[in-house]
Amino acid sequence: MKNFQDLIKKLEKVAYKNGATFFKIIKSSDIVVGNWVREKCIFGCIGFRWHCPPFSKKPEETRKFLQEYENCLLVGFENLKNREDQRKVQLTVFKLERICFLNGYYKAFGLVAGPCRICKICNVKRNLQNFLNDLKILNKNTEVALQAIYKKYCKGIKIARPSMEAWGIDVYETVRKAGGKIDVVKRKDKPFRSFGLILID
């Protein structure tokens, strides 16, 4: 029999062991989704991965997806300085998702913040022209075709997870609503915060 409180204790222990400074169970109804967020993701970020628009869920799809969950974990990290720190955060999100799964919460699914950092060098980005050529040969723009081609190039597909922003989730408002602290970083040489979200059940 699943015990939610036991699960939370396990998650909290692993989260803090991996550098988390914020840990909060929230309801899926507390996750804020905005149509504007996806546009900022498209036009305000130089990252490009499988987890980015136009491949990611649209805000209306995200709202519908979230209705299948009730309990979620919002976990935060601070004083991050570079992409390697961000990579560790994303790996931790996967670890937390995996713990949920192994404890009977098989629906668990993690989301990260920002572009995927799982691989040191993104193989999809490095082979972007080949990726687009393969898509042209198939002459299809279906989700199935995109997934098949992407899995051919993505080396971290098993543990890479989409970003909240790509799905239209307003990370700032969601974090603040949960009692967390998050601010706009005005300079690239300044430490920053990052968050992960695990949809549990």
Cα separation, 37 vs 169, in Å, equals 7
pLDDT of 20 reads: 98
User: pTM for the full model?
Assistant: 0.89
User: 28: which DSSP letter?
Assistant: G
Q: pLDDT digits over 104-163, tens only?
A: 999 999 999 988 888 888 887 777 777 777 767 666 556 666 777 777 778 888 898 999
Percentage of residues of the chain with pLDDT beyond 70: 91
Look at residue 190 and tell me whether its pLDDT is greater than 90: yes
SS (HEC) of 63-80: HHHHCCCCEEEEEEEEEE
Q: Please tell me the predicted confidence (pLDDT) of residue 141.
A: 57
In this prediction, residue 142 carries a pLDDT of 64
Cα 169 from Cα 17, distance rounded (Å): 27
Going by C-alpha positions, the residue among 119, 104, 107, 137 that lies closest to residue 49 is 119
- The arithmetic mean of pLDDT across residues 56-68, rounded, is 95
Which is higher by pLDDT, 116 or 64?
64
Please give the Cα distance from 12 to 137 (Å, whole number).
47
pLDDT value at position 161?
92
Q: Which residues pair with 80 in a beta bridge?
A: 192
Give the pLDDT of residue 143: 66
Confidence grade of residue 18 (pLDDT, cut at 50, 70, 90): very high
pLDDT at 43: 86
Average pLDDT of the chain, as a whole number: 89
State what percent of residues in the chain have pLDDT above 90: 63
- Structure confidence at residue 127 (pLDDT): 75
Say how far apart CA 110 and CA 95 lie, in whole Å: 9
Rounded CA separation 131/153 (Å): 8
- For the segment 187-191, the average pLDDT, to the nearest whole number, is 89
Please give the single-letter amino acid code of residue 62: T
In angstroms, what CA-CA distances link 108 with 15, 34, 118, 119, 135?
16, 23, 19, 23, 31
Q: Which of residues 166 and 144 earns the better pLDDT score?
A: 166
Length of the chain: 201
pLDDT of residue 138: 64
Quote the CA–CA distance of 133 and 142 in Å, as a whole number. 15
Q: CA triplet 8, 9, 10: central angle to 5 degrees?
A: 90
pLDDT of amino acid 164: 96
| Higher per-residue confidence, 45 vs 201 | 201
